[in-house]
Structure 1
Amino acid sequence: MATYLKQTSLAAGKPSSTKVDVPGIVRGVIDDIRSQGDAAVRRYSEKFDKWSPPSFKLSKDDIDAIVSKVPKQTLDDIRVVQQNVRTFALAQRKSINDFELEIRPGVHLGQKNIPISSVGAYIPGGRYPLLASAHMTIVTAKAAGVPRVIACTPPIMGVIPSSTVAAMHYAGADDIYILGGVQAVSAMAVGTETIGKVDFIAGPGNPFVAEAKRQLFGEIGIDLPAGPTEVLIVADEYADPSTVATDLLSQAEHGPDTPAILITTSRALGEQVIKEVDRLLKILPTSAIASVSWSTFGEVIVVNNLDEAYKLADTYASEHVQILTESPREALEKMFHYGALFLGEKTCVSYGDKVIGTNHVLPTKGAARFTGGLWVGKYLKTVTYQEVTSEKESGELGRLCGRAARAENFEGHARSGDVRAMKYMGDKFEWLDGQKNGVHT
């Protein structure tokens, strides 16, 4: 039976009486950009970002000048992180194989994995310049073999985020636009006079960006429906309270609506973590944000044993699940619903967010029950093909198709099979009377 040392307090998270109509605002922006193109893009960029340069697209000279302003250490770190992401993504790509199988003599079935032709990567700005999102979206797309990747990022307080541009450039973006929000996503999705339409959009963003991707899904593909960052830690009595508290707050600083949850087998640990979180919030530079998440969505739950902990953790299907136990790899066998696992004290969610090489675009809001996160396979279309070279097998399949289709009252389908059964097996069909070998007499 679970005991809650701390429960969510949603009173602070109740919506205000002046609720913003996010879907309606987004729908209006998309419709305007669809009908007015670049003029609407510029109007909304001026309105939302106070940004209206002669061209939203950066030239090669622009990029070179911007990258030259980035500290050498930052550029070196970008290269190292991107090589980690690239190495893992290429290994994923290598694991996905084309194949052809002859299931019966002369009956060939095959599978091919074809990269999406064009991808748009959205790299958020807002509260933080998210360099890592460039690594995760663009590098992975290029590892999949996507020939054209364009990338958008907003100005931050009227300034081009130079480190983000460097990350986009080194990641392999073919075109870079300083453009943000719904207007960027819409322009990439529907196309304008100067921004070519893409087939797929990846990358996180604020609720308006997430809603734009949701509304445009179907017209384009998207990586995942996005929600607030989530972290859940499973810990036993061997865990260090300071480490647990620090790791919870490392994610709580993402935004004021981040669930930060501890499930532990030790009441003493749970109580110590609560005290340590309170202490750390007094000295954390981002405590204004993290404290709201912790007070509103933070939970500390004590269970009887680790089996109960894993079972309860699975009900959350959290984006990030960190295992701080004596035997962390046990979770690989006992947990099933998570975006990504982080095993042991030497590993932390921040590594996955920023540097280690796995992708940080992960399912939220329980979506981990049915999907994983962004990976090289999201940028591939797995397609099939078939060929029958044996007359006998084509005739047998024709007979089978005729029977199967008529069981569903699909007479047209059945007749496609009948033609092959007649040609290759000599079968007679009333509807084919007056024909010989499929040709009118």
Structure 2
Amino acid sequence: MSLILKPALTTEHTGSSRPAVRSTVEAIIDDIRNRGDAAVREYSQKFDDWTPENFRLSAEQINQIIASLPQQVIEDIKFVQAQVRRFAQAQRDSMKDVEVETLPGVILGHRHIPVSAAGAYIPGGRYPLTASAHMTIITAKVAGVPRVAACTPPIRGKIPAATVAAAHLAGADEIYLLGGVQAVTALAMGTDDIPRVDLIAGPGNAYVAEAKRQLFGEVGIDLFAGPTEILIIADEHADPFIVAVDLLSQAEHGPDSPAVLITTSVDLGTKVLEHIQQILPGMPTKDYAGPAWNDHGQIHVVDSLSEAYALADTFASEHVQVLTREPRRALEQMHDYGALFLGEGTCVSYGDKVIGTNHVLPTKGAARYTGGLWVGKYLKTVTYQEVTDKKSSAILGELCGRASRVESFEGHARSGDVRANKYAGTPMQWAPVNQTAGKS
């Protein structure tokens, strides 16, 4: 049996793929490339009505902003950041440098080196997303990035005090009250006032996502992000009220956010639909959650949990919440997801806000080939090689000569030839002019 209790009305999403978004972003990037800080300031005025004397906050300003917040807000930020830092440190500790001797005197290795500078984009158009500061800045600092520059926009002309506090407490070296394409572009290419970075991380709206896409290559990025997604797998043991609440908790991110339920129980699916219809009209964020659920919400009923896991993998959803009697089975049977949330005691909102794992995750099917933001994203895994044994170098030299000539790379072959000749007396297949390889 495969039954759709509630289909999506559309599978199309507005976003960075729209021609109008692409052309607008391209024009802004080109203008900033040509005019630098003057263009950045004009776009900040145009889009955020914000043109301070200096976009970068001074230490004194930061201290004043933090002092304006209730102590409970500060304590909560510190608690959550401790969770993020603890998990990020565990990830970093799992990444070991490697050195092996593959042949006598042939030493190969790799090292994990942090990028020199990272940009943390912390969105704030509708809400002060303090959690994004934790995810992007703490993770970079645990990775060992020496300079982290944070950008966040003003919200309706006001300083987002909690976001500034979160960025500072997370360890940001610079904090700029600057948002949108202009912030991402300034970080990527650098201006007189904002030095460039090597990698930009953090979520954003369709224009920010498109700016990251267009600038990728000129700067590194964490991943391409689209609308927030939730998929819940539930059996007959799940609480339909909790399922409904959790689906809507993610739908409120925006009108394009898909919320999907896959269940083995027609009864549960029906009750979830009824609960959503009751809850949605009273939600303060119904203007976003309503269109998201109406247009992109889905409820599928399948015969077994194995079918549920297989169907869920075809969505490759950003967040997959498993509300079943044995939720850990999903760890064995699923492979395409951004993050798993196992059991009734866990919810996607914990991952978004407080639990410690990173909430910057792949969307729009990208979970088929990548995971989310983590410590490793800020690290370059680079190799080194050293040959100290002359006999081994001669063996490799002869092999290099043969392998390179198969591909018609004569210059490569000669690099191998001279070592085989010098270290083992192997005749070279070419005659150097006025030069003989020395013997040792």
TM range (shorter): over 0.9
Q: Which residue of 1 aligns with 2:2?
A: 2
Between 78-87 and 280-289, the greater mean CA deviation after superposition:
280-289
Asked if the contact 2:254–2:292 (Cα under 8 Å) also holds between the matched residues in 1, the reply is: yes
For the 8 Å contact 2:13–2:256, the answer to whether it is kept is no
Structure 1 contact 66–166 (Cα < 8 Å) conserved: yes
Give the CA RMSD over aligned residues: 1.5
Q: State how far apart, in whole Å, the 1-side matches of 2:98 and 2:19 are.
A: 50
Helix, strand or coil: the match of 1:10?
coil
* 1:294 corresponding residue in structure 2: 293
Measured against aligned partners, the alpha-carbon deviations of 1:113-165 in whole angstroms (never above 9, x if no partner) come to 00000000000011111000000000000000000000000000100000000
Amino acid at match of 2:176: Y
In structure 2, relative to structure 1, the CA distance for the partners of 1:304 and 1:430 (3 Å cut) is closer
In 2, Cα distance between the equivalents of 1:128 and 1:91? 30
What is the count of residue pairs matched by the alignment?
A: 437
The amino acid of 1:186's aligned partner reads T
1:249-268 equivalences in 2 (<5 Å):
249-268=248-267
Does the Cα contact within 8 Å between 1:153 and 1:178 map onto a contact in 2?
yes
Match of 2:422 in 1: 423
Residues 17-62 of structure 1, C-alpha deviation per residue, up to 9 Å, x if partnerless?
xx76111111111111111111111011011111001100000000
Tell me the SS of whatever aligns to 2:262: strand
Give the CA deviation at 1:432.
Answer: 2.9
The two structures have a TM-score, normalised by structure 2, of 0.97
1:6 counterpart letter in structure 2 = K
- Secondary structure in 1 aligned to 2:197? coil
- 247-256 or 426-435, which moves further after superposition? 426-435
Relative distance call for 1:235 and 1:408 in structure 2 (3 A) is: same
Deviation at 1:270, TM superposition (A): 0.3
Structure 2 CA distance for aligned equivalents of residues 7 and 61 of structure 1: 54
* CA shift for structure 1 position 280: 0.6
Deviation at 1:409, TM superposition (A): 1.2
> What is the CA-CA distance between 1:436 and the residue it aligns to?
6.2
Amino acid in the other structure paired with 1:234: I
Q: How far is the alpha carbon of 1:74 from its aligned partner?
A: 0.6
For residues 132 and 121 of structure 1, what CA distance do their matches in structure 2 show?
12
- Counterpart for residue 188 of structure 2: 189
CA distance in 1, matches of 2:44, 2:20: 19
Distance 1:202 1:351 in 2: 21
How far off its partner does 1:70 sit? Answer: 1.0
Alignment of 1:424-439 (within 5 A): 424-432=423-431, 437-438=436-437
Partner of 1:375: 374
Q: CA deviation at 1:439?
A: 5.7
Deviation, structure 1 residue 320 = 0.1
- Cα deviation for residue 10 of structure 1 reads 2.0
Deviation string 1:235-294 (CA, Å, 9 cap, x unpaired) is 000000000000000000000001100000000000000000000102211112101000
Give matches, 1:11-410, under 5 Å. Answer: 21-410=20-409
* Amino acid aligned to 2:223: L
C-alpha distance in 2 between matches for 1:310 and 1:24: 39
| CA distance in structure 1 between the partners assigned to 2:52 and 2:58 by the alignment | 13
Q: Mark the runs of 5 or more structure 2 residues left unpaired by the alignment.
A: none
Counterparts in 2 of 1:434 and 1:220: CA distance versus 1, 3 Å: closer
Change (3 A) 1:20 1:407: closer
Alpha carbons 1:121, 1:202 under 8 Å: kept: yes
Partner of 2:430, secondary structure, is helix
Aligned equivalents of 2:210, 2:10: Cα separation in 1: 23
1:71 Cα offset (Å): 1.1
2:231–2:319 Cα contact (<8 Å) kept: yes
Asked if the contact 1:423/1:437 (under 8 Å) is kept, the reply is: no
The one-letter amino acid of 2:415's match is S
| Letter of the structure 2 residue corresponding to residue 100 of structure 1 | E
Q: Deviations over 1:367-391 (max 9, x none)?
A: 0000000000000000000000000
Shift of 1:218: 0.3
Residues 33, 40 of structure 1: 8 Å contact kept: yes
Once residues 19 and 388 of structure 2 are traced to their aligned partners in structure 1, the CA distance between those partners, rounded to angstroms, is 61
**Does the 8 Å contact 1:232/1:321 carry over to 2?**
yes
